[in-house]
């Protein structure tokens, strides 16, 4: 049986860069999981059956939204350098078995809970095996366990030999095959479509391959038309300028990762008549490329090809992010958690990284990880800010993230849809933390 809560005497950060911090506030959370009232502590009457949580001096802000994750892995370094035959064997004889699928599902659930306990109350998962993401979303919605809000894409849509193909992707080689693959994912219950317009770092075999074009504009356009017809978004994995151009012209709603822009690309982001909302947003994932790109091979143990591809992708992505800030292109926040050195619990590192590398201040960065992400994902009527009637997706912090963004690394409490996690606990991956911490201070 759910109960109502009163967060008493807290400082409220609304998730809106234009609003200041209000002090000595009380927030009432109805047992239906929605925010019921926000007001001065001295003026809000707390119903007697509500559980009062004393938060004197602590900060309450909207739960974080991670717009780009994969649940299938936890961020420990991995390599896909095995031969095709070995990968094929591993897929068919280990992963795609009853036991393999059940192990995978447990791992995905654990990763989702790790994220939640670290303050991420909403995750958009963009590429998983066997529609296990759809199952987990449905179990959370049916209250079988308290998990984060999940938006899920199921399999990638890719081309023959393309990024993620064949195991993580539905393969199509024409606009009609691509449409059919949208329909297959929709039939299986996805919330959005994820496509791979270019190659990717994880499975590129030679330098330069990560950004190579794989999908045609006709295929992208067919996918977008099919998805937009039923009101769902298309997210495009893109790691080069030419890839971004094709994806934008085809009408995608978000560019994942991104690359350096030219005039045509800038204006297509801002005004894209084929995109569902009339513009396309950028979800950079700097933290996914940074360690492999910039750290010494002896530390990261990645292959030279991976390092070189990561460097190309990172440098171009960073230019793209700076251009997006300069030209007022809508930017969200994602991490690509699951990739090597990207865990599910350190979204703050991406925020810190963005702050150091762009002119965005902490207030604007927090807005992007909450309100703006919700708008980009089309869920701002439900979550992403502290407003009456929105879901009570909240985090409590001892320190102000506006003074130091790293305050988000240590969340005191988490609430999702009105369910309170009073003592969140995150199992960290020491080797990953140590490597990243060792270079945190001296990054360029
Ligand atoms: Zn990804």
Q: Is residue 328 a part of any domain in this protein? A: yes
Provide the domain limits for residue 395. Answer: 5-62+384-421
Decide if 236 is inside a domain: yes
Give me the sign of the Cα torsion angle 253, 260, 124, 170. positive
Instruction: Find the 125 Cα to ligand 1 centroid distance in Å.
Output: 8
| Domain match, 286 and 330 both | yes
Kind and range of the H or E run holding 95: none
Compute, in angstroms, the gap from residue 178 CA to the centroid of ligand 1. 20
Contact 201, 212 (CB under 8 A): no
Does 434 map to a domain? no
| Tally of structural domains, the chain | 2
Give Cα 229 to chain centroid, integer Å. 24
pLDDT of residue 309: 85
The Å distance, Cα 92 to ligand 1 centre, comes to 23
Give distance in angstroms: CA of 168 to centre of ligand 1: 11
387 alpha carbon to ligand 1 midpoint, in Å? 31
Q: Of all residues in the chain, what percent carry a pLDDT higher than 70?
A: 98
Strands laid side by side in the 156-158 sheet:
169-171, 156-158, 193-196, 234-238, 254-257, 281-283
Alpha carbon distances (Å) from 109 to 74, 103, 265, 323, 336: 11, 10, 38, 37, 17
Q: Of 297, 282, 180, nearest to 239 (Cα)?
A: 282
Domain ends where: 377, 408, 430?
Answer: 377
Cα 270 to middle of ligand 1, angstroms: 23
Instruction: Supply the pLDDT for residue 93.
Output: 82
In a domain, 246, yes or no: yes
CA of 3 to the centre of ligand 1 (A): 37
Distance 127 CA to ligand 1 centre (A): 7
Mean pLDDT value across residues 167-194: 98
Rounded to 5°, the CA angle 260-264-267 comes to: 95
* Residues 243, 211 contacting (CB under 8 angstroms): yes
**Within a domain: residue 440?**
no
Give the tens place of pLDDT for each residue, 404-441. Answer: 999 999 999 999 999 999 999 999 999 999 989 887 76
Q: What is the rounded average pLDDT of the residues 59-82?
A: 89
How far, in Å, is the centroid of ligand 1 from the Cα of 19? 32
Q: How far is the CA of 67 from the centre of ligand 1 (A)?
A: 10
Mean pLDDT, rounded, for 87-109 = 89
Q: Do both 228 and 242 map to the same domain? A: yes
Q: Give the pLDDT band (50/70/90) at residue 94.
A: confident
Residues 365 and 249 both lie in one domain: yes
pLDDT tens figures, 50-65: 999 999 999 999 999 9
pLDDT surpassing 90 at residue 248: yes
Report residue 91's pLDDT band, with 50, 70 and 90 as the boundaries: confident
Both tokens assigned to 419: 């369910």
Residue whose tokens read 């950028």: 282
Reported as a pLDDT band with limits 50, 70 and 90, residue 81 is low
User: Tell me, what's the pLDDT at 190?
Assistant: 98
Q: Coil, strand or helix: which one is 341?
A: coil
**Range of lowest pLDDT (26-40, 202-216, 266-280, 351-365):** 202-216
User: Which has the minimum average pLDDT: 31-40, 204-213, 331-340, 346-355?
Assistant: 204-213
Measure 39 CA to ligand 1 centroid, in angstroms. Answer: 40
pLDDT in tens, 7-39: 999 999 998 988 999 999 999 999 999 999 999
């Amino acid at each position: 049986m759910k109960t109502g809560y009163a967060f008493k005497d807290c400082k409220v950060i609304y998730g809106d860069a234009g609003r200041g911090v209000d002090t000595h506030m009380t927030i009432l959370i109805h047992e239906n999981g929605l925010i019921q009232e926000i007001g001065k502590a001295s003026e809000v009457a707390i119903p007697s059956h509500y559980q009062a949580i004393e938060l004197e001096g602590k900060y309450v802000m909207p739960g974080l939204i991670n717009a780009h994750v994969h649940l299938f892995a936890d961020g420990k370094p991995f390599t896909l350098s095995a031969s095709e035959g070995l990968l094929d064997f591993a897929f068919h004889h280990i992963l795609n078995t009853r036991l393999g699928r059940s192990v995978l599902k447990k791992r995905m659930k654990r990763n989702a809970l790790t994220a939640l306990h670290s303050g991420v109350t909403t995750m958009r998962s963009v590429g998983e095996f066997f529609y296990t993401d759809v199952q987990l979303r449905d179990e959370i919605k049916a209250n079988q366990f308290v998990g984060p809000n999940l938006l899920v894409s199921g399999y990638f849509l890719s081309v023959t030999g393309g990024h993620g193909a064949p195991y993580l992707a539905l393969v199509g080689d024409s606009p009609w095959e691509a449409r059919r693959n949208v329909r297959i994912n929709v039939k299986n219950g996805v919330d959005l479509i994820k496509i791979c317009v270019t190659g990717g770092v994880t499975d590129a075999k030679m330098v330069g391959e990560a950004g190579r074009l794989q999908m045609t504009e006709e295929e992208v356009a067919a996918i977008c038309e099919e998805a937009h017809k039923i009101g769902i978004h298309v997210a495009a994995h893109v790691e080069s300028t030419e890839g971004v151009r094709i994806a934008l012209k085809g009408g995608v709603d978000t560019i994942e990762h991104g690359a350096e822009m030219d005039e045509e690309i800038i204006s297509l982001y801002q005004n894209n008549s084929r995109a569902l909302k009339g513009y396309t947003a950028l979800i950079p994932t700097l933290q996914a490329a940074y360690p492999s790109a910039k750290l010494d091979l002896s530390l990261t143990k990645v292959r030279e090809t991976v390092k070189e591809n990561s460097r190309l992708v990172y440098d171009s992505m960073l230019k793209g992010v700076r251009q997006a800030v300069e030209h007022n292109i809508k930017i969200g926040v994602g991490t690509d958690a699951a990739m090597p050195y990207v865990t599910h619990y350190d979204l703050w590192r991406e925020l810190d990284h963005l702050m150091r590398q762009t002119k965005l201040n902490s207030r604007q960065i927090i807005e992007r990880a909450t309100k703006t992400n919700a708008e980009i994902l089309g869920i701002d009527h439900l979550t992403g800010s502290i407003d009456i009637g929105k879901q009570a997706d909240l985090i409590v912090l001892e320190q102000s993230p506006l003074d130091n963004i790293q305050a988000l690394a240590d969340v005191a409490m988490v609430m999702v849809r009105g369910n309170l996690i009073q003592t969140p606990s995150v199992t960290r991956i020491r080797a990953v933390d140590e490597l990243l911490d060792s270079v945190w201070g001296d990054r360029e």
